[in-house]
Amino acid sequence: MTRLFVLDFDKTLIPYDSWNRFLRKIILRSPIRIGIALFLRRIGVLSRGELKREITNVVANNKRLRTFSDSFIKTVSKDVVLPSLLFGMNDIKLVILSASPMCYMCYLNKYLDCKCDVVGSDYIAGEYVEMYGEQKLNYLKNHYSHDQYKYEYAMSDSESDMIWMLEFEHCELKKN
């Protein structure tokens, strides 16, 4: 049975929130549609998940913004610190599970020194799913069944992730 290790990304593998940095940088390069979406989020018309969906759609349809997203995560990847317990381990499946959107998280694997699945907020079966709290738990159960994986280790900085972390034999709530 393959041992499953699942790690949160923002404020866990990196010391900051990549989504907020991405927003600050993409607004300078983006069409007015992103500016409008950010304004609508600020006044409470759009939820956090709806804003991620809107930006994901804009990036998906703009080659220049896809290139920017790749460059952005390349820079962020330099700040990734993987737990030392991963080094030298065999027969594990490593998953980085993040609420950050796949419009930039999808490039992360290119820049890491290890093989892993990267999962972020994105479209699943035609519906946009924000990978947060219970959605992370649902994703894990649907994609990494207990029949094939031993839920061995989980790490996050957020109390909201305890809903899925308690499924694991060992879990670590990282304090910043």
For 85, which DSSP code?
G
Total number of residues shown for the chain: 176
The structure's pTM equals 0.93
Q: What is the pLDDT along the chain (176 residues), one digit of tens a residue?
A: 999 999 999 999 999 999 999 999 998 887 788 889 999 999 999 999 999 999 999 999 999 999 999 999 999 999 999 998 888 778 899 999 999 999 999 999 999 988 899 999 999 999 999 999 999 999 999 999 999 999 999 999 999 999 999 999 999 998 86
- CA 130 centroid distance within chain: 9
CATH of the domain at 134: 3.40.50
CA dist., res. 86 & res. 80, Å (int): 13
> What is the SS3 assignment for 35?
helix
Domain of residue 115 covers 1-176
CA dist., res. 90 & res. 18, Å (int): 29
Number of domains in the chain: 1
CA dist., res. 74 & res. 68, Å (int): 10
Number of Cβ within a 10 Å radius of residue 48: 13
CA dist., res. 114 & res. 73, Å (int): 16
> What is the SS3 assignment for 66?
helix
Contact predicate 165/147, CB 8 Å: no
CA dist., res. 40 & res. 52, Å (int): 12
> In whole angstroms, how far apart are CA 56 and each of 46, 117, 176?
14, 19, 29
